[in-house]
Structure 1
Amino acid sequence: MNASCLTIKELTDAVGGGITPRMVRHYHQLGLLPQPVRSQSNYRLYTQKDVIRLQRIVALKQQGFQLNHIRQILEVEPEADTATLTAQLQQQYRAVMQQISQLRQTASALEGLLGRDRHCQIMQAEVLAQLKLLEVETQAGLGGLEKLWSGLDAQVHTHSEAFVESLQHLLPDLSQRSEIEQHLISQLVLACGDVSLVSFVRLSQDAIAASREALKSECDIFVDIPTVAAALDQTRLAHLGCQVTTLIDNPHVTTAIEAEQEFWHTQKWQEKLQQITKGCVLVVGYAPSVLLSACTAINKQKIQPALVIGMPIGFSHAPAAKRQLMQQKTPFITIEGTLGGGLLAATSLNALVESLIEKPHCHCYLKDNIVPI
């Protein structure tokens, strides 16, 4: 055996990332990895080139790319026409969005059944029993299904919606998170009506503790645009002695597009960001450039916020800004990817403020930091 060659076990150990020999063999079958040479004893033998290619596969997979997308990316030579690859990936993206749309439709149907409070559960049981026996052979037969939904929906007129109770039936298990985090996540879901948001919410380990200490200290609150300020619970913030300041102080700026352009082209807003007070809470709900600039300023130790709530909207700069935020030592709360917006950013701070006022002596968020004696 060539001393420079690796066995399949040595290959997976060198790559790491949870890769297993079984996965490597699967990648061979899919054409992601070239078939290796064999030893005289019929063992697969790998080279450093295979290690690099497998590392690329693992890295792309961790970023969310599907295996068929990864194969297309790796098959295109660096000097080849990227327009062809772009067109292929756009086609794949549309296919993925179609799948998401279909899954969203399925989720909506399940939410329509499971997200019922106790007042609707008798009718829910009747509908489930009838769905099990449902026979639909013609288009006219679909009327029976519509009738079932109409019967279920009729119950909503008898009482107001019990949001918390309904949400308990739909949320994933959050028992490993502190009570304050659970409240924060629930409020975010209620603000947008999308339970899948839970999978994308990210909090640094010290985010809750940092927020409570800052708010108790009557910290300043800085937001990117007036729309975010308008969504904040000004009454509770005033009770805590926290003053709200808008960075892009232009009442005509109300959207992510306007916020991004205004901050990018106006020097005084950029200078204003550099002057935010030490120990403040920075809330970014729209402009990716504000969060990117804040991360740069934090790295250069020009600003020292106690907490950054970073939830700008965007399809390239916003995800990049959030990734940079999550690499900072500064405590943060964010939503990975393109999801976000001023309402969600404001909701995050409002939930933290509410928890502090309602439960000022709660220490549930410290449970993960307790060191066994």
Structure 2
Amino acid sequence: MQWLNAETQTVQSLTESLWQQLDAATFSHPDNFQEALERLLPDLSQRPEIEVDVLSHLVLACGDVSLAAFVRFSADAIKAARENLLKGCTVVSDVSALTTALDQTRLTHLDCQQATLLDNPHIDTVADAERTLWQNDSWHQKLSDLADGNIWVIGYSPSVLMKLCEIIENRGRQPALVIGLPIGFSHAPAAKRRLMQLKIPYLTTEGALGGGLLSR
């Protein structure tokens, strides 16, 4: 037992020493995010370059390289995004906080209009968005009016994604692309699974991962 304790302490000492050396080296050069990210990400050599670029941006947004394993694209998602943005489609966000976080300069350059389903600047959390939606269903008609031909970016409300999936299934509506990344532990995973079953262009994640930072 004494030998085992001594060996454990030696390993811990070596590990601590290694981290001290690595930490000290950070002052000798600037942080290279891209290089570090390439080393940490799983092997993506079989993925198209544009998908790797999207995955890299998503990982940098959340600071968690494990996210890459949970991101799901439809086969036509990237093509749909490129073609419809170049045509100047409307980009619809679920809440104002997400609308204002999008790349306004690029969208203006592409002549893309923006719309917000819950156009209230005071709604900036998932809880606020869900509470507002469940208290008032007047947004259902607005969602229906905006469903076809637009790019949807949903980063807060699982209920919005669920309702959008419902009208796609039941009414044959056809968005240009759905970026469905609401965060949550119950409704959000269910809404994402439903999205992945639809025959439309989409980008989403499996499970609870998501949020406004990833969606923008």
Alignment TM-score > 0.5, same fold: yes
Q: Which residue of 2 aligns with 1:37?
A: none
- For 1:319, the equivalent position in structure 2 comes to 189
Partner of 2:116: 246
- Residues 147 and 164 in structure 2, CA contact (< 8 A), matched pair in contact too: no
Return the letter of the residue paired with 1:237: L
What amino acid sits opposite 1:296 in the alignment?
Answer: E
**How big is each residue's C-alpha offset from its partner over 1:77-128, in whole Å with a ceiling of 9 and x where there is no partner?**
xxxxxxxxxxxxxxxxxxxxxxxxxxxxxxxxxxxxxxxxxxxxxxxxxxxx
Q: Spell out the pairing of 1:33-182 with structure 2 (5 A cutoff).
A: 142=12, 145-182=15-52
Task: Name 2:153's counterpart in structure 1.
Answer: 283
Displacement of 1:233 after TM fit? 0.9
* Offset, 1:267: 2.2
Higher mean Cα deviation, 135-144 or 312-321? 135-144
Give SS of 1:313's match: coil
Cα distance between partner residues in 2 of 1:138 and 1:343: 41
1:333 to 191, 199, 203: 203
What is residue 45 of structure 1 aligned with on the other side? Answer: none
SS at match of 2:138: helix
Over residues 309-352 of structure 1, what are the superposed CA-to-partner deviations in whole Å (9 max), with x where a residue is unaligned?
00111111111101110111111000011111111111xxxxxx
3-state SS in 2 of match to 1:340? coil
> 5+ unaligned residues in a row in structure 1: which ranges?
1-134, 347-373
| Match of residue 96 from structure 1 | none
Question: One-letter code of the match for 1:152?
Answer: L
Q: 1:141 to 1:203 in 2, by over 3 A?
A: closer
Q: Choose which of 66, 69, 76 in structure 2 pairs with 1:199.
A: 69
Equivalent AA in structure 1 for residue 161 of structure 2: L
Return the match for 1:217 from 76, 87, 105. Answer: 87
Distance in structure 2 (CA, Å) of the matches to 1:329 and 1:142: 52
CA 1:150–1:225 in structure 2 vs 1: closer, same or farther (change >3 Å)?
Answer: same
State how far apart, in whole Å, the 1-side matches of 2:110 and 2:93 are: 17
TM-score (norm. length: structure 2): 0.91
Partners of 2:8 and 2:73 lie apart in 1 by 50
What do the CA deviations read for 1:44-77 (whole angstroms, capped 9, x no partner)? xxxxxxxxxxxxxxxxxxxxxxxxxxxxxxxxxx
Query: Residue in 1 aligned with 2:169?
Result: 299
Q: 1:136 to 1:213 in 2, by over 3 A?
A: farther
Letter in 2 for 1:204: S
Shift of 1:181: 0.5
- Which residue of the partner structure matches residue 186 of structure 1? 56
Q: Do the aligned partners of 1:220 and 1:277 also contact (CA within 8 Å) in 2?
A: no
CA pair 146-242 structure 1, distance change in 2 beyond 3 A? same
Q: What CA distance in whole angstroms lies between the structure 2 residues aligned with 1:245 and 1:259? A: 16
* Secondary structure at the counterpart of residue 241 of structure 1: coil
Residues in 2 aligned to 1:213 and 1:144: alpha-carbon distance in whole angstroms: 54
Bigger mean CA offset, 277-286 vs 308-317: 277-286
Task: Provide closer, same or farther for how the CA distance between residues 137 and 311 of structure 1 changes in structure 2, counting only shifts above 3 A.
Answer: same
CA distance in 1, matches of 2:144, 2:119: 15
Distance 1:294 1:257 in 2: 19
| Matched positions, count | 212
CA distance in 2: counterparts of 1:257 and 1:301, whole angstroms: 29
- Report the aligned-residue RMSD: 2.0
How do residues 3-22 of structure 1 correspond to structure 2 at under 5 angstroms?
A: none
Report the CA distance between 1:217 and its aligned residue: 0.6
Which structure has the larger Rg?
1
Whole-angstrom distance in 2 between the partners of 1:295 and 1:207: 16
Matching residue of 1:230: 100
Shift of 1:222: 0.3
Could you tell me how far apart the structure 1 residues matched to 2:165 and 2:129 are?
17
